[in-house]
Structure 1
């Protein structure tokens, strides 16, 4: 396992709640709520996942890995949080799903299996690692030419700080306080630059929003806070 591009404090934060990953009302409730949106976005952009080889980078407890596998994808989920991965393995087994969960860094898997995957997903991870550009590069290496890479992260500006930290963590308490560090948020232009440098072409960008009155998440064009990106590996 190569954990050089990992913050042990971040890993510890997620591992301390490892048993609660599949509690839809627990600390990961927002991820449960947005997973159907993320899944639909992926299939809207590329079509059916059935039969595709997918790497879920920063898979956590498997909240996205499992529904992708249920739709017929051959999923490899990777993470550096061991207790979280054990929760993912146990839940997949109980759900009757075959998912290859591995405790390995994206960079190490990319060196081991370059171009092996049709699709790579990297959701809510980039803002939690010391060198997000290196993860983007690894994702570009993992996907085959013409394949798709999906990122989800948080923009860096005052509005994002107000909504993602003050609002979500302290006022609405959608997430535990301290989940995010605003200094680690990533502007779309930065992500686009890293993607281009990694052989990826950014095809589409959309925003992810929360309505506190209806308690519903939805997608819209505004990318000033949370956003999702669809990239394609350039053919060469």
Structure 2
């Protein structure tokens, strides 16, 4: 598919916006620099949740060997690569062909065998891909055209007892001030237009999207940024960034 091919879950404008800066994914001082700073807290949360969900040994070098993971909206592979190093068999998908090209080239240079695909969650479902033990749905849902249908489709790719980890932004005035106006227009941490505050999602909306389904949700788990230390940490405050988990029935 081309970078701007639309399906009902894809926002072509967002795909084009990220495609235009795809070569900067692995530059910690580039446009994705804030994501590099954010990555450790995401990785720690993922590792903690999967260890608990599958009863794996946290002292093992590759504790997740034998588990299949899907990274949806993988971008340049900032999560895909460490997941592969932890032992997962990784499939990584992004709607932008340019993102996939960058991610695949970088992973190959690191000697990592990751199945990178240009496509969407709907295409995976239509192709009968999976099921996957773990699905990463990180900072993607606020960029799609139909978040409810998108979330249900991604959840359908889970194996029995599988775990999906979702991260997104809360639609609050605090998030508008700090994550949108502050981050994009004052501090210039992100390119202007990266986010549309109207597409931010409240935790209760995530719950509504899966109402009546057999999936079990937990969270929100808040994360906060400390401007004095320049670091992210887990927090009781979910007014801006938060994560949730979705567990499939056994």
Q: Give yes or no for the alignment of 1:44 onto 2:48.
A: yes
Write out the 4+ residue segments of structure 1 that deviate beyond 6 Å after TM superposition.
none
* Distance across 2 between alignment mates of 1:142 and 1:25: 35
CA shift, 1:210, in A, is: 1.1
Whether the 8 Å contact between 1:10 and 1:128 is mirrored in structure 2 is yes
Q: Secondary structure at the match of 1:120?
A: strand
Tell me the matched-pair count.
235
* Distance across 1 between alignment mates of 2:17 and 2:141: 15
* Distance across 1 between alignment mates of 2:201 and 2:11: 17
* Distance across 2 between alignment mates of 1:180 and 1:95: 31
Q: Give yes or no for the alignment of 1:190 onto 2:205.
A: yes
TM-score, L = length of structure 2: 0.90
Deviates more, 1:88-97 or 1:110-119: 110-119
Q: Give yes or no for the alignment of 1:173 onto 2:173.
A: no
The 5-angstrom pairing of residues 40-119 of structure 1 reads 40-47=44-51, 48-113=63-128, 116-119=131-134
Q: CA RMSD in A?
A: 1.4
Deviates more, 1:34-43 or 1:58-67: 34-43
TM-score, L = length of structure 1: 0.95
Uncovered stretches (5+) of structure 2, i.e. residues with no partner: 52-62
* Distance across 1 between alignment mates of 2:185 and 2:198: 17
Whether the 8 Å contact between 2:167 and 2:244 is mirrored in structure 1 is yes
Q: Secondary structure at the match of 2:211?
A: helix
Q: Give yes or no for the alignment of 1:220 onto 2:235.
A: yes
* Distance across 2 between alignment mates of 1:115 and 1:234: 16
Uncovered stretches (5+) of structure 1, i.e. residues with no partner: none
CA shift, 1:95, in A, is: 0.6
Deviates more, 1:182-191 or 1:212-221: 212-221
